[in-house]
Amino acid sequence: MEYEVVIGLETHAELATVTKLFCGCSTKFGVEPNTQVCPVCLGMPGVLPVMNKKAFEYAMKAAIALNCKIDEFTNFDRKSYYYPDLPKNYQISQNYYNLGVDGYMDIGVNGTISRIRIHNVHLEEEAGKLIHPEEIGADYSLVDFNRAGVPLLEIVSYPDMRNVDEVESYMQTLRKILLYTGISDCKMQEGSLRFEASISLRKKGSDKLGDRVEIKNLNSMKSVLKAIEYEAKRQSEVLDRGEKVDRETRLWDELNERSARMRSKEEAQDYRYFPEPDLLPVLIDEKWLRAIKDTIPELPLARRQRFMETFALSEYDASLLTDEKILADFFEECVKVVNRPKAFCNWITNDLLREVKDRKLDIYNLKIKPKQLAALVEIIEKGTISSTIAKEVFSEMILTGKDPKTVVDEKKLAQISDEGLIEAVITRVISSNPDAIEDYKKGKKNALTFLVGQVMKETKGKANPKIVNEMLVKKVGA
């Protein structure tokens, strides 16, 4: 039978605050285990949580950026469950009054925009981390509470996705929004951005939702996509056999590329949610909401559209530039100095990104500044250096942060436009390449290209190619 795959995603993003959600402990990643803890995040009796306003504002930003409705009243709830990484035996989360509800995010797949609805955006605290020793025979686990209490944003989509292309675009777009708004560093390898997928199948054309399965333990965007493909196949086989898909939570096994049942699906009532008595509700007034709204920058999709319209860039170029906010900012600074959008786009998306990759540079701490790249484009246009030499100058600039003029002077790279100097080289090249001259006179046009190349080689690429070309034609021509 033919089925339609119905996919929803739950996203967890650790917020980029300096301190935890309900205490003053640091959120720094990668330090000695259990060194960033206090009685509050360890859940000692008698302690009281105090909400981190910054974390709440970051969550507001996300809710606004995802077009959610934000009610004036929000509250925290206790979600009770037992697990060794949860010292209080409950997690402070939101259930009855989520910070944001009924939003949406537009995603682009192969040139078409689809709208994926967002069910809710809410704020909660992270759990600790269990460490399972790898040595053979170890019959214990360790727990690190440094992560317990780190602010965590949960974004729940509606099951609006139908294939892995949409899922991939959803994850990428959401990641970009979180990075653009600066509310999470989105480092999947450090666990600060995580996805869980829920998948169900239904007969094509049906509008009833099938029984869904949730998949956890997805460590990268690639595993999300692989797990969805695996699960869609598994469920279709179950249904084809005339059996029912069990509502359950499954764990993805990255090594063997398969999923296995973890537990039957829990329902909200299993968690015995009730309003957190130790925290006050948060009231959001118009003024506060507007102030937060004002801090949200232009988001990637809108910026891409504007780049296409304002700078006449192709969709491909505009996407490359707006993928990383830092690149888009760099580009706009350049264009402010010299209005050559296409040239800057090429420099940034080809040369700059290549150098960053080859030399493993930190894109957030580049030595080269936009006005220096603008100056480079200017001296190419003036004819001071050729575009070939410019590549060499650029390499030096990105390494040292020097101005292009300084590099040109230090390395004596300025283009030779002096006709006397060029003529001397041309004379030498002509006398040592009689065959090429013959060929050219017989009408072989590429012989001229060869001669120009020889002159460029002798001048180490510094002769002005336009002048070389003109002079050569005059000398050997007709």
Residues of span 1-30 touching Zn ion by CB under 5 A? 23, 25
Q: Which one, 23 or 345, has the nearer CB to Zn ion?
A: 23
Q: Which one, 143 or 164, has the nearer CB to Zn ion?
A: 143
Q: Report helix, strand or coil for 230.
A: helix
* Distance between CA atoms of residues 478 and 475, nearest Å: 9
Q: Which one, 25 or 239, has the nearer CB to Zn ion?
A: 25
Does the protein bind Zn ion through residue 41 (CB under 5 A)?
yes
* Distance between CA atoms of residues 300 and 322, nearest Å: 6
Q: Which one, 48 or 326, has the nearer CB to Zn ion?
A: 48
Q: For tokens 């021509």, name the residue.
A: 477
CB 36 to Zn ion: min, Å? 7
Instruction: Spell out where 266-384 has E strands.
Output: 274-275, 282-283
Q: Which one, 145 or 170, has the nearer CB to Zn ion?
A: 145
CB 20 to Zn ion: min, Å? 5
* Distance between CA atoms of residues 74 and 97, nearest Å: 5
Stretch that binds Zn ion, among 39-47, 157-165, 243-251, 435-443 (CB under 5 A): 39-47
Helix axes 370-382, 325-337, angle to 10 degrees: 50
Q: Which one, 43 or 465, has the nearer CB to Zn ion?
A: 43
CB 205 to Zn ion: min, Å? 53
CB 152 within 8 A of CB 188: no
CB 395 to Zn ion: min, Å? 47
Does the protein bind Zn ion through residue 38 (CB under 5 A)?
yes
Stretch that binds Zn ion, among 9-17, 33-41, 64-72, 291-299 (CB under 5 A): 33-41
Distances (CA, A) of 97 to 94, 126, 283: 6, 19, 11
Torsion of CA 91, 96, 97, 99, to 10 degrees: 50
* Distance between CA atoms of residues 249 and 260, nearest Å: 9
* Distance between CA atoms of residues 213 and 198, nearest Å: 5
Stretch that binds Zn ion, among 36-44, 58-66, 212-220, 284-292 (CB under 5 A): 36-44
CB 127 to Zn ion: min, Å? 14
Q: Which one, 27 or 74, has the nearer CB to Zn ion?
A: 27
Footprint on this chain of Zn ion (rule: CB under 5 A): 23, 25, 38, 40-41
